[in-house]
Structure 1
Amino acid sequence: MRDLTDHDSLYAALLARDPAYDGRVWVGVATTGILCRLTCPARKPHPENCRWFDDPAIALAQGFRPCRRCDPLDEGAPVVADLLAALKAEPGRRWSERDLVARGHDPSTVRRLFRRRFGQSFLAMARAERLRQGVTMLKQGAPVIEAQLDAGFESASGFRAAFRRLFGHAPQQMREQGGALADWIDTPLGAMIVIADDTHLHLLEFVERKALPAGLARISALLGGQVGLGRTPLTDRAEVVLVDYLSGRREAADLPVKLHGTDFQRKVWQELRRIPPGETRSYGDLARAIGAPRAVRAVAAANAANRLALVVPCHRVIGADGRMQGYAGGLWRKQRLIALEAEWAANLSAKG
């Protein structure tokens, strides 16, 4: 925590573009409404127009918008961008720490950056991408052993174990099922897994969420184990809508969803869907809105149990003090979503 009252020292650090403050202090420019890193190369504001923050979420809640030059919400952007591009180019590669060093990266730094941003290490993400390759092969009708080898798994048992950890079923079991279908979809904020039938989305989660396997198993059980691999027309529609939404072109709330939960949980989730994009609520606000003002903890628990990211917008809930609180998809995503929706809502208001 830095002393945000020491204005002169902070302004001197801004003028010097001091990297020691990067990721610890941000500056909001009152005249432009822009939030920057202290290392931003943009023209420096006058000292009286600077507002200092030790949490970018507070600045976003006050209406500041992220600078497009320094991207204040993206820690370690060059390292992350390099490795994500490498993973995209070679999705079936078996990555090791030695490979990271060969690319000029410190493995411990990479581990910290990826865990902070994605909730998992780069090596774990690479393993998930290889598993995805195997799932693609299975959807195309390939034998399990062929899918295993294509995914770069040395043993059939390792492939089956990884598959079961994620989906809660062995590969052959899911290929034989029908009804609701599970598949990966790509979005500007990362890959997600969706379970959909012809009429409703049952699950939509970022692939690195730690609770994803438990969520998949629960949805599968609620659907009688009838979850297979593949796509429905609604899966394709959801992918198009989410890409548009995360590009700032539309809302995502019109996708049909099936809310699997208790009466209380469904009441909370329905209230979440009533929060307009560009606005936020606290847990206390939600509790009062559903007529249970003392049930703040229960509301927070229901928020955490949401299995339909983005379309049931639990990311629009922040602390009563304006700070970002836990988000299973990663706080960096929450910050980006709130900033994106604030800009979208402002543009919509300006047009109409």
Structure 2
Amino acid sequence: MLITNLDKRKQYYQALLAKDQGYIGIFYAGVKTTSVFCIATCRAKKPKYENVEFFSTFKEALDAGYRPCKICKPTENSNAAPSEVIKAIALITQNPKTKISDMILKEHQISPETIRRWFKKNYGITFQTYQRMYRINNAFQELKIGKNVINTAYDTGYESLSGFGYTYKKIMKNAPSQNTNNEIILVNRLTTPLGPMFICATNQGICLLEFVDRRMLETEFKQLQTQLNTKIIFGENSHIVQAKNEIDEYFQGRRKYFAVKLHTPGTDFQQTVWDSLKQIPYGKLTTYKEQAENINNPHAIRAVASANGFNRIAIIIPCHRVIGSNGELMGYGGGLERKRWLIEHEKNIQIKTKSILSTQIRLIQNKVFYYQKYD
């Protein structure tokens, strides 16, 4: 929300002047004269008090019409994991069979309190729960290739078979000896210039990519688990790693097409609509009406719009490229300001690409003219 309390506004303004790291993520400062918003530690020239307003979340700043500052990158740096969290996660991924205790964290100069607060705020679970999910995922993969339950339990760091079985069943909803042929859904987190996103994948490919504040996100998780008859646990596979790299390249303007594999359970009609979305060229816009016509169902405009709304894979399946027939932005789960940002981002990259291409053509033409003249 917009901060209107006078004392708090003054407090936040002083924190902005002091570049106080303790206020990162606490407020977002919208600068009226430049239409950008910043986090507390921004290095840009500070605005006058009367030219700044404060918001509780970056989404509220976006909704108010402000753009992310290119210097402090507020949607990235306020939500990216701090160095201590990155080190703690690395300990888990590098030692998936070891329980990372508070003592081990302290040995690596990591504050257990900082880790607990960050995981609870950003994932909604404790660090130990996150860690258990990684260990159980590792156990699941080993059971899947035929390793017996007893060896898996002890190799995964559990001191008793009963303790392993209890934890495994609590997370996977089945005993370790059951249903290892079923696949699971892994969920991870990434940061982008528009804020953090959750990314999910099965062995077949990416099945969800959504902003963490997307409406109905919990419902999407439940529907996905029901459709695939499996559970979601924290982890990472090759599809997630590839998608993270490709999304990063997209935001840097270095990627226009995605190669990562997708897994998109849905009705036949939804699959047809989602396939049509993937055919919309980078930097181009279409309407729901045109999309309906493209799938040879011109009267299904509302049904097409509804199927677009059920798309769980933002950006990669580019529903942000569909607008109303009147040119208005409509229906985007991540928020209309994000939709506007994505459209402008692709438009600017296209203009930049054309400019570079035109320059290259002129250089070639000049060289040809030179050689023709002096040959």
Instruction: Tell me, yes or no, whether TM beats 0.5.
Output: yes
**Equivalent-residue separation in structure 1 for 2:91 and 2:340 (angstroms):** 29
Question: Does 2:118 match 1:113?
Answer: yes
Task: Report the equivalent of 1:130.
Answer: 135
Structure 1 pair 183/266, CA: closer, same or farther in 2 (3 Å)? closer
Q: What does 1:26-37 correspond to in 2, within 5 Å?
A: 26-29=28-31, 35-37=37-39
**Equivalent-residue separation in structure 1 for 2:45 and 2:264 (angstroms):** 49
Asked if the contact 1:163/1:169 (under 8 Å) is kept, the reply is yes
User: How far off is 1:59 after superposition?
Assistant: 3.3
Please tell me the root mean square deviation across aligned C-alpha atoms, in Å: 5.2
**Equivalent-residue separation in structure 2 for 1:55 and 1:186 (angstroms):** 22
Task: Report the equivalent of 1:44.
Answer: 45
User: How far off is 1:219 after superposition?
Assistant: 0.9
Partner SS state of residue 113, structure 1: helix
Stretches of structure 1 that go unaligned for 5 or more consecutive residues are 222-234, 280-288, 323-334
Asked if the contact 1:18/1:38 (under 8 Å) is kept, the reply is yes
State the TM-score, normalizing by the size of structure 2. 0.57
Asked if the contact 2:200/2:240 (under 8 Å) is kept, the reply is no
Amino acid at match of 1:81: I
Same amino acid, percent of matched pairs: 25
Q: What does 1:159-308 correspond to in 2, within 5 Å?
A: 159-167=164-172, 169-176=174-181, 182=184, 192-196=200-204, 201=205, 203-204=207-208, 215-216=224-225, 218-220=227-229, 240-248=242-250, 249-250=254-255, 259-261=264-266
User: How far off is 1:122 after superposition?
Assistant: 1.3
Q: What does 1:341-352 correspond to in 2, within 5 Å?
A: 343=345, 346-352=348-354
Q: Relative contact order (C-alpha < 8 Å, sep 6+): which is higher?
A: 1
User: How far off is 1:213 after superposition?
Assistant: 7.7
Structure 1 pair 50/264, CA: closer, same or farther in 2 (3 Å)? farther
User: How far off is 1:152 after superposition?
Assistant: 1.6
Stretches of structure 2 that go unaligned for 5 or more consecutive residues are 192-197, 231-236, 285-298, 321-331, 355-375
Q: 1:87 aligned to 87, 92, 100, which one?
A: 92
Q: Which moved more, 1:123-132 or 1:90-99?
A: 90-99
Q: How many pairs were matched up?
A: 303
**Equivalent-residue separation in structure 2 for 1:66 and 1:308 (angstroms):** 26
Amino acid at match of 1:193: A
State the TM-score, normalizing by the size of structure 1. 0.60
Asked if the contact 1:25/1:38 (under 8 Å) is kept, the reply is yes
Asked if the contact 1:205/1:309 (under 8 Å) is kept, the reply is yes
Partner SS state of residue 95, structure 1: coil
